[in-house]
Amino acid sequence: MNSNNKEITVVAFCCLYCAYAAADLAGSMRLQYPANVRIVRTPCTGRLEVEFFLKAFENGADGVLVAGCEEGSCHFKEGNLVAKRRVNYARKYLQESGLEPERLRMVNVSSAMARQLTDHIKDMVETVRKLGPSPLNKAKRQQQQEIKS
């Protein structure tokens, strides 16, 4: 996933009804956000299972952002609250497995909050950059370098 050794990739699961629409709006408003983010549209953050987050890390993500509706205004009533609990549960697993739990974060925005969404993305990318590439990817890169040299 990371072609550039210095760069990191953040997978952002965005709810169709809020964060994904906000990302669309950010585009219309010409708001910039780092190109490190890969947006995955989801019907509701409540659709996301614990294993989705873990699999994202297994498959090369350095960070995972979950962006759902503001609390109290989920299109499916409480999907975002379910997601919040699952994110917290997955963070526990990450920590136990040796990954910093800060690599997984949930944020809440409405479809009108394009600026806030881009700020969240920037902040997440910054956090992950400070942590450095995921150790899973470090090992893989080392292997690749060993093969090359």
Partner 1 sequence: MIVAERKTIPEIVDIIKGHKNILVLGCGTCVTVCLAGGEREVSIMASALRIASRAQNLGFKVSELTIERQCDNIFIEQAAEAIEKADAVLSLGCGAGVQAIAERFAKKPVYAGLNTKFLGILEERGTWTEKCAQCGDCVLADYGGICPVTRCAKHLLNGPCGGSREDRCEVNPNRACAWQLIYKRLKDIGQLDRLEKISMPKQWGTSLSGGPRVIIREDHRI
Q: Residues interacting with partner 1, by CB under 8 A?
A: 49-51, 54-55, 57-58, 93-94, 96-99, 134-136, 139-140
Q: How far is the CB of 50 from partner 1 (least distance, A)?
A: 5
Place of tokens 């947006």: 39
Strand, coil or helix: 19: helix
- Nearest distance from C-beta of residue 138 to partner 1, angstroms: 9
Nearer to partner 1, 41 or 141 (CB): 141
Three-state SS letters, 42-73: ECCHHHCCHHHHHHHHHCCCCEEEEEECCCCC
Q: In terms of CB distance, is 25 or 50 closer to partner 1? A: 50
Closest contact distance (angstroms) between CB of 77 and partner 1 is 15
Of 55 and 77, the one with the shorter C-beta distance to partner 1 is 55
Sheet architecture: strand order including 104-108: 37-42, 10-15, 63-68, 104-108
